[in-house]
Amino acid sequence: MSEFKTIIYEKRGNVAWITLNRPDKLNAQNTEMRRELIRALEDAWKDDNVRVVVITGAGRAFSAGADISEFPILTPADLVKRAEIIRPYELIRNMPKPVIAAVNGLALGGGCELAMSCDIVIASEDAQFGQPEVRVGVIPGGGGTQILPRLVGEKIAKEMIFTGKFISAQEAYRLGMINKVVPREKLMEEVNNMVNELLKQSPIILAFAKMAVNKALETTLTEGLKCEVDLFRLCFSTEDQKELSKAFLEKKPPAIKGR
């Protein structure tokens, strides 16, 4: 792939690492960054060697959200055509691979939405989360009004969105927005521990699990249970299911093939 200007995209073993790289702008997401993020996520999706994706930020922020300097030149007509605004979040949610957010500081607006779109969120103790879009005359546009209520409930979501207030990593953990809070110097160690746990699992079984849990957030219980049963059955058509069951019974390490 060609060089990126606003992100760093690396593949190490079976892991794709995406670092938002506009530290002087607190990794605010401009049009170029969103397009590069889309390219990186699409590449990670297509690469069968990539089994886990990690997203983090350079410097002292994860992402402070959209680059407000672009707002004056945007019109409603522009936004109708700009599907790339929500495309990164859709790719993360729909990608059949676990995506981890390593939140190393501010995660505001589109940065908060980016983190919430990920499957697992690990944050440093100094991280902060918020949807402050009302302060610049808009509402969340990357899923904040839809995802946040599902995580923290209607009342807390409305308070956060209506007031634009920030919350600490500890409060985000208490509300169920994130998985873990660790000292800043331990963040990447904890992320790598999670990566290693995920790499022990079958990628195809994890894909089924992600699909089933996502379905629970967008449909009725009846339809969700039907989806779960269908995917449960599909597990038994995979080589990995047979290998994992056999290894469990024989008390030996499995030879996972991803098939």
Residue 33 within any structural domain of the chain: yes
Q: What is the mean pLDDT of the chain?
A: 92
Once rounded to an integer, what is the mean pLDDT over residues 20-45?
95
Host domain of residue 108: 7-199
Task: Say yes or no: 211 and 194 in one domain.
Answer: no
At 55-76, the pLDDT tens digits run 999 999 999 988 777 766 666 6
For residue range 157-167, list pLDDT tens digits in order: 999 999 999 99
Q: Are residues 159 and 122 in the same domain?
A: yes
Residue in this structure with the two tokens 């839809």, named with its chain if needed? 146
Residue 82's pLDDT is what? 56
In a domain, 211, yes or no: yes
- For the CA atoms of 36, 41, 42, 48, the dihedral, rounded to the nearest 10 degrees, stands at 140
**Count of domains for the chain:** 2
Q: What is the largest CA-CA distance in the chain?
A: 64
> What is the reported pLDDT for 85?
78
Confidence check: pLDDT of 83 > 80: no
In whole angstroms, what is the distance from residue 62 CA to residue 103 CA? 5
Residues recognised as catalytic: 113, 133
Buried b (16+ CB within 10 A) or exposed e, 42-63: eebbeeeebbbbbbbbbbebbb
Give me the mean pLDDT over the 12-38 stretch. 95
Same domain? For 148 and 246 the reply is no
Shared domain check, 96 and 222: no
Mean pLDDT of 109-121: 97
Residues 157 and 233 in one domain: no
Does the pLDDT at position 113 exceed 90?
yes
| Per-residue model confidence (pLDDT) at position 74 | 61
> Does 179 share its domain with 228?
no
Residue 220 reports pLDDT greater than 80: yes
**Is residue 128, in this structure, part of any structural domain at all?**
yes
